[in-house]
Amino acid sequence: MVEAGQAVTLTDRPHPEWTVRRAADAYRHRRRDRATALELAACESFSPKERERILSGR
C-alpha cells in the first residue's frame, strides 16, 4: 500500500497513451464511446474479465 508522502518509482509503462483517468473514462463510457472502449480492450494488460465485458457490449 502506498501512503501519502511515500516515494514511488515508475519501473514500467507499457501503454503510455493510457492514463488511469483515460482508462477509467473509457471503461465508464464504454457503451457511448465504443471506439475508445475497444481500443482499451485491445491492451493485453487489461483484465480479461473486463475486456470480455467491453467486447460483449455489457
**Which pLDDT tens digit goes with each residue over 1-58?**
889 999 999 899 999 999 999 999 999 999 999 999 999 999 998 899 999 999 998 8
Grid coordinates of 52: 470480455
> What are the angstrom distances between the C-alpha of 13 and each of 2, 33, 34?
18, 24, 24
Enumerate the domain spans of the chain.
Answer: 20-56
pTM: 0.75
Count other C-beta atoms under 10 Å from residue 54's C-beta.
22
